[in-house]
Amino acid sequence: MRNAVLHTVLVCDRWRVPIGLKDKAAFRGTLSIMWCVLNVFVVCGLVLEGRVGRDVIVAALPGVPVVLLASWLGHQVARRLSQKQFADGVAVLLCIAGILTIARNAG
């Protein structure tokens, strides 16, 4: 839950920064780097807490090429979208993520 909230807050905060969604390449690049760095710290924290061990990390490694492929596919899709379509898509996805987070934690 805390990671979902943190990611949502960071995206919402990014929305208010002057370049915000005015430049989709800068927006995507900033979030990609931010999430990569953030997730390294999260994983390190989980390892230090003993909640994630070597077996989990080794099991997750095959997912790295999938993440890289998804990133490349996202780039291909983003190139084809207008700035307005991209901004509207981000808003819709952010709303869906927020609704799912609330629904998952409501009970």
Q: Which domain does 75 fall in, by range?
A: 2-105
Q: How far is CA 29 from CA 66, 69, 75, in A?
A: 18, 16, 10
**Nearest alpha carbon to residue 77 among 64, 93, 58:** 93
Confidence tier at 13 by pLDDT (50, 70, 90): low
Confidence tier at 31 by pLDDT (50, 70, 90): confident
Confidence check: pLDDT of 23 > 70: yes
d(CA 96, CA 107) in angstroms, rounded, equals: 18
**How confident is the model at residue 19, as a pLDDT?**
46
Residue written as tokens 């994630």?
52
For the chain, the domain total comes to 1
Residue 61's CB: how many other CB atoms inside 10 A?
Answer: 8
Q: Tens digits of per-residue pLDDT, 43-99?
A: 899 999 999 999 999 999 999 999 999 989 999 999 999 988 988 888 898 899 989
The full DSSP string for the chain is: -HHHHHHHHHHHHHHHSTTGGG-HHHHHHHHHHHHHHHHHHHHHHHHHTTSS-HHHHHHHTTHHHHHHHHHHHHHHHHHHS-HHHHHHHHHHHHHHHHHHHHHHH--
Tokens of 60: 């997750």
